[in-house]
Every structure is written in C-alpha cells, then in structure tokens.
Chain A
Amino acid sequence: MTQGKKENSFNADVEGRGLLGGRGRLFLIAVVLLLAVAYLIYAAFPGSTSYYFTVDELEANSEEVDGKTVRVKGKLVPESFAREDGGTMATFTLHAGEEMLPASYDGVVPDLFFNEHSEIILQGSYLEGQPFHAETVSVLCPSKYQALEELEASA
C-alpha cells in the first residue's frame, strides 16, 4: 500500500505524452542544447587556438593583424628596458629568435618581468611599423620549479 504510493510520488512525471510532452520535449531540448554548444565551440575555436602570436609570427602576419587587438609573446632583450625620468612610461624590446619588437607600457610591470627564464605576453592594438603599445603585460612563467637554496649554492 505504502509502497505503491511511494512509487507514485517518485515517478510522478507521466511518460510519453506525444512529441512535445515528456520525453519528446526533453529530447528536443537536448538536441537544441547540443547544437548550440557545438556551434559555440565551432565559432570560438579558430580565434582562441592562438592565445598569442610569437614576435616572428606577428611580423609574418603583420598585414592581417594591423589595427587589431592582439597578444604577442617574446623574450625581453637584455638591457633594453628603460623608463622615462619621473614617469611610468616604459620602453623595451621583445624578441623571438632574430625578430625584434620594440614596445612600450605605461604602468607597473610584474615581478618576474626581468627573470631570464620568463617570456612576456603583451596585449594591445598592433599598428604596423610602430612600437607596440601594450595595454596589459603578463609573464609566462616556465613550469620549472627549482629550489632557491640549491640555485644559490651552485651560483
């Protein structure tokens, strides 16, 4: 008696109410959702697969990305960093192999900016032939985790 009542309350939804009721509607919703997700993945991926260009890729695609907001990755050219006196505007050069990219940034750079293992990602709008003005600067850290004491001991 109680058992029958319990089953009723647990399976209260009625099955098979035609195409737009019960399972049919559920199926339709599932298909629409799957298509939507598939489209979003399809639409989003060509742009997002390259989270950044490297400096040499940027030079190679300079016409295509001219005037667009891009991220570009490179290593800091040693000694290239300079800051104007009493200001926050910094200029420096990134490189990837032989290709050089002069850049500027107004603000505070992250702690690991000057680390020799770090790679730097700049985001800003690229204008061909002009120094790259970065709106944000982030550092791509190598996933090499070394012990400070050992490094100091070997130095």
Chain B
Amino acid sequence: MSIQAWTYVIVAATFALYIGIAIWSRVRTTQGFYVAGRGVHPVANGMATGADWMSAASFISMAGLISFMGYDGAIYLMGWTGGYVLLALLLAPYLRKYGKFTIPEFVGDRFYSQTARVVAVVCAIFVSFTYIAGQMRGVGVVFSRFLEVEIDTGVYIGMGIVFLYATLGGMRGITYTQVAQYCVLIVAYLIPAVAISLKMTGSPIPQLGFGGALVEGERAGVFLLEAIDGIHRELGLPEYTAAFVAGKKSMIDVLAITLALMVGTAGLPHVLIRFYTVKSARLARWSVMWALIFIALLYTTAPAVAAFARVNLIQTLHDRPIAEVPAWFTSWEQTGLIRFEDRNGDGRIQYGEDPATRELEIDRDIMVLANPEIAELPAWVVALVAAGGLAAALSTAAGLLLVISSSVSHDLVKSWMGARITDDRELTIARVSAGAAVLVAGYFGINPPDYVAAVVAFAFGLAAASFFPVLVLGVFSKRVTREGAIAGMLVGIAFTAGYILWFKILGYGGPEDWWFGISPEGIGSLGMLINFAVTLAVTAMTPPPPQEVQALVTEIRLPSQDD
C-alpha cells in the first residue's frame, strides 16, 4: 500500500475511535461536562494531561526547532517540563481541594471579588484562543501534506471531529479521547525515534543513542554529539552543544525564557483544570507525577531526534549533487517546506551559516514529519506519524475549547444569572459556547494571523504574568487581598503585553533595546516578578481579607478526606 492509502486507513481508524469514545462518554450533568464527574483515575488523567499539553508544536515542531538551536533548545525542554514541578508542589492539590469547576471561580472566591473573576476569565479566554488557532492550523497542515487535501478542508474536518466530542462529552469525552490520543501520539513519536537511533547508533533507546557513537557513515565510531559539533565547525556554525557563544542566546535570556515557560505552564488554565477531574488532592499530586512521566517520555526523546536529524540531514544533503537527492527531498520540496536554489551553479547543495550563500532552506516543521522517510521506514510508520500529529493537535484544541466554554457558561452566564439558571440550562449553554468556540477557532485556523508565533509567546507570558502569582499567593498567603491581586494581575498583564506588542508585533527596536537583554519570549518572567511585587505592595496597604476567606485558605491547605 502507498503512504497515502495507509494514511487514510490509520487516520480514519483513529478518528472512528475518537468518535466512538465521544458517544460512549456523553454526559448529562454540568459536573460531568466541566470536570468529568471527578472520577478520573490518576494514570488516565496523567495521559490526558500529556495529550492536552503536548500540542502540534511539541509533536511536529519542537524536535526540528531544537535541531536548529542546539543547546538553546533547553529552553523548551526544561521550560515545558519544569512547570509540572511547580504544578504538583504549589497548585494542583490545592485547586483540587478547593474543588469547584473553573480557575476564574477560584480567583473570584479567594479574592472575594467579581472583578477579579472577570479579569481571570478574560485572561483565560485570551490565552486559550491564541493557543487554539495554532492547533487548528496544525491539523490543516498535516492533512494537506499527507492526504493531499486543501489546508482549509483539513481544518473543517478537524473542526467537525472536535465539535462532536467536545459538545457531546464535555470534559468526560475530552478526557477519554485524550487518553487514546496520547497513546497514538507517543507510539507515533517513539517508533521512528527508536528506528533511527538503532540505525545510526545501534542503541534502541534514543536517550542513550543520543550519547552514543555513530555506527555508520564517514564518522563511524565518533560520538554523535562530537560528530555534530565537528560538522558545525566545518560549516562555520556555532558548535551544537556550546552555550552562550556568538549566534546563540545569552545566559540571561536563556534563564528568562526558561523561567517564563515553566511558570507559564503552571499558569495555563487548560492544564490546571485537568486536575479538577481526579477524586482528591492526594490523587491530584499523583496525577501530576503520571502526567510528567508521560510528557518526559516525549521530551527526552525529542532532543535525541533533533540530533539524529541534524546529522542525517547534513550528511545526506550537504555537498550532494542535486541530481542524486533522495525521493523525499523532492516530495517535500513540492510543499515549499524545503527550498533549494543553486546560487553558484555547481549543481551541488551547499548548506552553511551565511544566508547569503546558503543554498538550502529547511522548514523546522518537517524534521519530525519527514524523519521516517529520511530513515527509510515503511509506509505505515509515515502514516502513523501523520495520525500522531493530528492526535496532538486535536487533543490540545479540545482541552482549550473546554476552558473557553466553561469560562463563558459558568463564570459569565451562570455567575451573572445566579440561582435562576438550572443545571440542564447551564449544560446547554456550555455546549453552545463550546460549539461557538469551535467555529471561532476554525476561523483562525483558516485565516491565521500572520504573527502566530508571536502570539504564542503572548500565551505563556500572560499566563506567567497573570495567573501564576495570584494562584500561588492565594494558597500560600492568607493576607493577600482582593486589591492586591487585581492590581498585580492587571500590572503584570499590561507590562508583559506591552513589551511583546512593542518589540514583536509593532516591531520597534531590536535586541539591543531589550531590557536587561531579555527577549519578548522571556519577558513573562519579569512580568511575573512585577506581579508578585505589586500584589504584595498593595496588600500591605489594604485591610486583610474577611474571616471566611481566611477560613477557605485554611481549609484548602488541609489533607483531603474524600478518596
């Protein structure tokens, strides 16, 4: 069977599975819709969190990004895993112990203020929409490459699927489809990684092959990483493993970005609400541990894949006559993701640092998608990778949709209409707002804002500068006041958004103008510090919270009884 036939079969099979799960897990109560009835097993919730968290960007783009960044890739690897330590230690168990439905709800109760809740809702919706646009786009890209349909058609198909299981099953449907999606995506990620590791280093474990010696090619016997550093020196590029040298990020920027991503991760509402779905605070801690294990499986494999791809790509393509390139080169060239221009007319591919003489431009997104073809794996593996990319994008999109719909139906409509709204009625509103959110997300997927990458920096920066300090202080201080929290959130957001807007979207000034050398990607960490400072300063000037709020804090700190 051809790659395309296999892709149709595997993608259709996985989609049928997701729809089957959606029908099996449909819900009739808001408790089921928002928090899956709070009966999710911690291991299942760990897998669901893994799929929820690992987006199209993690699955498709991250290894490729690292492959071009070398050491600097650590910002993503540590930044997107280290946040789970903060989650497990500082947030997840307490939010679960508090035990209502949404994050803004906690903010509103702890800070005894409807204003605080509304500010939190606006942050949650904004962060989620910026994220979801990228996911729908990812679905479209995978469809167009592997099934040869228009990107837009791919987005429509993706919308249809997510619509079905998000509106039918709510959190319950999303949780169990995410479990299935985690399985699909991790298998799809590991099979090519193991095959390539075996082929290049003789080790079936990519994490070990990463530090092993090459077994084939002109550099056989040399350690993989030494081989890459050597290749880079020959091409005039900075060494792959070197840190803070010319052409790489500065130390302060690596620190700032890593911190912003960690803290942003711990403040992302679609990750936080996953821990509302387990039975108790105790199980929330265990659930974070499982989530981190499942995520670490991909995140420790990705840098190995990045290094393998680096060697593979350069050895296969650099200095090769264009007449002799492998077949995958031509098929990816047609998508525009590989571009070759024979500038010096010698009929060979030259790859190097200088963009003026470099003849090859490679889009980082194809590293993972093209990997199985580069490693000459069978067609069904290529098809599985396509299904994995779709699983990663759809699962994240669904988690984000739920945040949007629960923010609208629970935090806005329900809290304004109060007790006058019945559970059935609220459920209908939740379904309708999930449906509406799918349409808006689809619109952004079809008409992506051209600054998508900049907007993702927004999502993390804003989550870091808004939610994280307020949530942590809300649990660990009884004294922090409503005025402090609202001022902290607003100043943190305004500062971070302003900085990103100024440098990335309006494009004023370059790296030499950055404050303390911190790039817009890392500015969320400064925004977080400012939020902490403002919150504490304003708190010192305002009267302490009422007795019942202090009692609420005492209560959520106590061990749970309910498991």
Tell me whether A and B are bound partners: no
